[in-house]
């Protein structure tokens, strides 16, 4: 497969970390080497990849604002080797941002490091996946954390506000020159929710890659604070398979 860099974005609480964990797991099942980067200041991606809370918190945080690559003091490969940790689910996890203390300063430095890493082609990764914190700042901060992503996966839930956020995200991504944005409708509880995604995404020119149903087992995995996503229902699994097929089509058509 061609190497691909994917950013998972969207409004707060829509399911970015859950979907990012499922994307990472499914790529591993397809035989890909996956690097997963958590850029949330309250990092949870480790839980979605099978780590305990203690293991997630033990992942060392990437240094801030290092120049990566040509002329800089380090390479993306060195950062992965030094700061990456293999997870039970398979992907290597990197943690870019952590806010441990109130008033500890802004997180721009961590975002700048990730931006530099994504500009490099990681020799040991087929898939580089970034779980973003909520909001739109990452598309402006430090020149756009995700400026070098091949594709953004913008996650929505069946609410107008999450679709408005997705539309704004797509517009900012276009300005930054990110070639493709695909949308995921998450937490669909009934046919009306599916209809909502289809009509809203069509009206806003968003490509609907898949609809992921609301499944109590996904929600309860989170409540158990384990974030275990290794036994999701077939309905969720097949939706994520469709998303990966769309991502593969996307990257092949833009190369
Ligand atoms: N398809 C789904 N079915 C049921 N529950 C879901 C589904 N997707 C996500 N959830 C639940 O929704 C909640 C928010 O999910 P998640 O943490 O992945 O969102 P997020 O967008 O990463 O949030 P944040 O903006 O805080 O980073 C979690 O409790 C999660 O278990
Ligand atoms: Mg999250």
- The distance between the two most distant Cα atoms of the chain, rounded to a whole number of Å, is 54
Q: Which residues line ligand 1 (CB under 6 A)?
A: 10, 12-18, 40, 134, 186-187, 212, 214-215, 218-219, 222
Residue 162 CB burial class (10 angstroms; 0-12, 13-18, ≥19): buried
Q: Which two tokens stand for residue 119?
A: 């500009």
- The pTM is what? 0.92
DSSP 8-class letter at 141: G
| Residue 24 pLDDT greater than 60, yes or no | yes
pLDDT of residue 229: 63
> Judging by DSSP bridges, how do beta strands 85-86 and 92-95 pair with one another?
antiparallel
Helix, coil or strand: residue 25: helix
pLDDT digits 0-9 by tens, 52-86: 889 999 999 887 766 666 666 778 888 888 899 99
Atom 25 (ligand 1) nearest CA: 12
| Residue 240 pLDDT greater than 70, yes or no | yes
Mutate to test the pocket of ligand 1, among 17, 18, 156 (most ligand atoms within 8 A of CB): 18
What sections of the chain are H helices per DSSP? 16-29, 45-48, 53-58, 76-83, 108-119, 160-176, 191-203, 216-223, 234-254
**Calpha distance 19→29 (Å, rounded):** 15
Most confident of 65-69, 101-105, 148-152, 161-165: 161-165
Structure confidence at residue 2 as a pLDDT band (50, 70, 90): confident
Residue of 218 and 213 predicted with greater confidence: 213
Helix, coil or strand: residue 140: coil
Distance from the CA of 14 to the center of ligand 2, in angstroms? 8
pLDDT of residue 11: 93
Mutate to test the pocket of ligand 1, among 9, 15, 98 (most ligand atoms within 8 A of CB): 15
pLDDT of residue 120: 77
CA-based torsion, 149, 150, 152, 153: positive or negative: negative
pLDDT of residue 99: 66
Q: Which two tokens stand for residue 143?
A: 């020149």
pLDDT digits 0-9 by tens, 108-146: 777 777 777 787 777 778 999 999 888 777 777 556 788
The 3-state DSSP composition of the chain as helix, strand, coil percent (nearest 5) reads 45, 20, 40
What domains does the chain contain, in order, with CATH numbers? 4-254 (3.40.50.300)
**Calpha distance 146→170 (Å, rounded):** 12
Report residue 211 CA to chain centroid gap: 17
**Calpha distance 23→164 (Å, rounded):** 23
Nearest-5° angle of CA 228, CA 230, CA 233? Answer: 105
At residue 104, what are phi and psi to the nearest 5 degrees? -80, 10
Ranking 38-42, 64-68, 92-96, 224-228 by mean pLDDT, the lowest is: 224-228
Atom 30 (ligand 1) nearest CA: 219
pLDDT digits 0-9 by tens, 50-61: 998 899 999 998
> Judging by DSSP bridges, how do beta strands 4-10 and 92-95 pair with one another?
unpaired
At residue 92, what are phi and psi to the nearest 5 degrees? -90, 125
| Residue 1 pLDDT greater than 70, yes or no | no
pLDDT of residue 101: 55
Ranking 28-32, 42-46, 68-72 by mean pLDDT, the lowest is: 68-72
Total residues belonging to the chain: 255
- The residue-averaged pLDDT of 225-233 equals 66
- The residue-averaged pLDDT of 26-35 equals 95
pLDDT of residue 245: 96
């Amino acid at each position: 497969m061609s190497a691909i860099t994917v950013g998972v974005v969207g409004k707060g609480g829509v399911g970015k970390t859950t979907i990012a964990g499922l994307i990472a797991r499914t790529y591993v099942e397809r035989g890909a080497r996956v690097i997963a980067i958590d850029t949330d200041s309250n990092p949870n991606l480790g839980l979605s990849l099978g780590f305990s809370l203690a293991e997630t918190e033990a992942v060392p945080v990437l240094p801030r604002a290092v120049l990566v690559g040509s002329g800089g003091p380090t390479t993306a490969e060195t950062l992965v080797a030094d700061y990456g940790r293999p997870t039970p689910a398979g992907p290597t996890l990197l943690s870019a941002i952590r806010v441990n203390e109130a008033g500890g300063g802004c997180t721009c430095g961590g975002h700048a490091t990730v931006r530099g890493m994504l500009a490099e082609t990681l020799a040991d990764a087929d898939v580089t996946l970034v779980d973003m914190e909520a909001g739109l700042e990452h598309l402006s901060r430090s020149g756009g954390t995700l400026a070098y992503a091949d594709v953004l996966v913008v996650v929505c839930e069946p609410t107008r506000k999450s679709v408005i956020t997705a539309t704004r995200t797509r517009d900012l991504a276009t300005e930054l020159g990110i070639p493709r944005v695909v949308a995921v409708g998450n937490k669909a509880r009934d046919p009306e929710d599916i209809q909502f995604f289809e009509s809203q995404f069509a009206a806003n020119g968003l490509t609907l890659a898949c609809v992921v149903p609301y499944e109590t087992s996904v929600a309860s995995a989170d409540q158990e604070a384990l974030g275990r996503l290794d036994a999701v229902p077939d309905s969720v699994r097949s939706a994520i398979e469709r998303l990966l097929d769309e991502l593969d089509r996307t990257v092949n058509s833009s190369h």
